[in-house]
Structures are given as C-alpha cells and as structure tokens.
Amino acid sequence: MPKLPPVPLSAYVVDCAVYVGGTRLPGRWTHEGAIAEVRRRGEGFVWIGLHEPTDEQITGIADTFGLHELAVEDAVHAHQRPKLERYDDTLFMVLKTVCYVGHAEPTTANEIVETGEVMVFLGRDFVVTVRHGNHSGLQDVRRRLEADADQLALGPAAVLHAVADRVVDNYLEVTESIEDDIDEIEAEVFTPRSTMDAEQIYVMKREVLELRRAVTPLVAPLRKLTEGYSSLVPHEVRSYFRDVDDHLVTVTERVAGFNELLTTLVDAVLTKVSMRQNNDMRKITAYAGLISVPTMIAGIYGMNFDVMPELHWDFGYPMVLVLIAVICGTLYRNFRKNNWL
C-alpha cells in the first residue's frame, strides 16, 4: 500500500496533534481529522496551536470545535485583559505574555517590557491555543509535556496549566531582570554629584505599569481555577494551579514594590534637582553680592559732585580700592564659611 503524503499545515497552524494516554499519535493531522480520531477512539484529546489567525482562518476550527463566537472574536483581535470565561462546555482564558527587552544601560533604554497574548480554548477533548506576538512561543511547553506522559495523560487541563505556568514563570524572570535595572538606577540616583534624569525613571515606571496591567488582572482567573470553577479542570490539575497562583502572588508583590520604589526614586531625583538649584542660586547671589560692592562705590564716585569725601586727596583712589578689596574679602570669607561658595 503506497504511503500517503503528509497533510500540510497552514501557515497560521503551528502544530496539530492527537494525544492518547499521554502519548502523541504519529502523523500529521487536520483539525477535522484529529477530533474525528479522538471521538472515534473515545479517549484522548486534540491540541492545536495557532499563531495570529484571521477571522477566515479560524472559522473552520471554531465550527469544528463549537467555539463561541464572542470568544473567537476576542482571540482574533487580541488586546484583551487577562480573564477567564465559561461558554457552555468550553472555557476561554486570556493570558498576557511578557518579554524582557535587552539593553546596554537601564538609564538609556526606551523599552524594557514587551507584551503579547495567549488565548486558550479548553474543552473535554480538545485544547486550542492562540498566540499573538513573536516572543511567547509554546513549542517548549509542548515538548516538555510530551516528555512527561503522566502529566499529559491528565487531559486538556494539563495543557492549560502548562501554558499558565510558563507565562507566570516568565513573569518571575522579567521581574528579576527589572529588579536588577532598578537597583542600578537606585545606585545612580544616590551617587554623589550624579546627573540622573527623572525622565528615565518615568520610562522605567511606565514599563512597570505595563507589567502590572499584564500581571494583576490574572490573579482572579487563576484563583477561580484553583477553587473548582469548572469541571473541565479536574481536582488533580487544580492542585498544580495552586502552585502557579503562589508564584503569581510573588510577582504581584514584586511589581507593587517596584512601583513604590520608583515613586520614591522620582522624589529623590526631584529633591536633588531642587537642592542643586538652591546651591546654584546661592552661588549666584553670593557673586552678585561681591560684584555689587565695587559697582556701588564706583557708581557713587561716578556722580561727579565737587564735594565728596577724599575727592582731591592723593591717596583717595588707592584707599577706595583697598576699601573695596576689604569689603569683598570679608563677604567672600563669610560666604565660604556658610558654604555659599
């Protein structure tokens, strides 16, 4: 019997596989053939990974798996907040992915955090993941699960857990990198005579706020999954979600701390700027005081009156110069003593 050619995958379909008993069945599948095989066997599930599909591209998959049109619209257009919704016998979860953007110095970077999205449709015998962005590939998640048959045998909910775990682990990695950047900025701010600009701290604060918008809304959906929100997530898998929830709590606490610390650093920089301006104003005032003495004396003697003190005295001019020098010297000594100069 001649060997059939492999079924080509579409450009937006990253992978389509059938898993039975925690093992991937050989061959390449279309979404119709994969779900037909699972339902013919009465066991296993289908995992389809999509990357930025259009309305037309996802329509066939949505019809085959019975995905709700509102959830499908969200999956196509993206830009959603993290959430968890239940449609009949299907769960729809949105997770924000984050990526740390490498840079030479945090004091000169314009972008530190890049975000994307992963949507997951979870059914009794299928899981569909839709990815937006180029930094949140799920190939490693799939390979790790395929190497752990016991975990994969728990069903589609195990895939949802693995995706959520990967996303939250990335949060931890990004927060650690941001913490290093903030430590560097903090050291720069409190270095004597440093010229740290508050604008760069605002850039870092903007990136932290972007991270917070990705992390904080995910707390409630994950909490629901740990509390038995749906029968599609069995008890064995809910215990794994508790571990993910604990990691997410750690991330949210870190992000909140970053926000408070950056606010403090902004205040510190503005205080340093104010102190520097005060010092500059004191120096300007001191020099203005020194200059005003000879200016005043020269102005008085420049009024050309005939009767003025020591006007016709031979030593009048040297005396005026000495008087100016003495007064200016006294003022200079007092200014230096009071740290005005």
When pLDDT is cut at 50, 70 and 90, the band that residue 94 belongs to is: very high
The Cα 264–Cα 204 span in angstroms is 13
Q: Pull the structure tokens for residue 108.
A: 């000169």
Model confidence pLDDT, tens digit, residues 140-165: 899 999 999 999 999 999 999 999 99
Model confidence pLDDT, tens digit, residues 54-83: 888 888 899 999 999 999 999 998 888 999
Indicate the CATH number for domain 281-337: 1.20.58.340
pTM over 0.85: no
Q: Which residues contact 308 (CB under 8 A, 6 or more apart)?
A: 300, 301
Tally Cβ neighbours within 10 Å of residue 111. 11
Q: Which residues contact 13 (CB under 8 A, 6 or more apart)?
A: 31, 48, 49, 50
The Cα 225–Cα 234 span in angstroms is 10
Return the pLDDT at 168.
94
Return the pLDDT at 17.
92
Whether 127 has a pLDDT exceeding 80, the answer reads: yes
Q: Pull the structure tokens for residue 63.
A: 């019809």
248, 171 in Cβ contact below 8 A? yes
For the chain, the domains span 13-273, 281-337
Domain formed by 13-273, architecture: 2-Layer Sandwich (3.30)
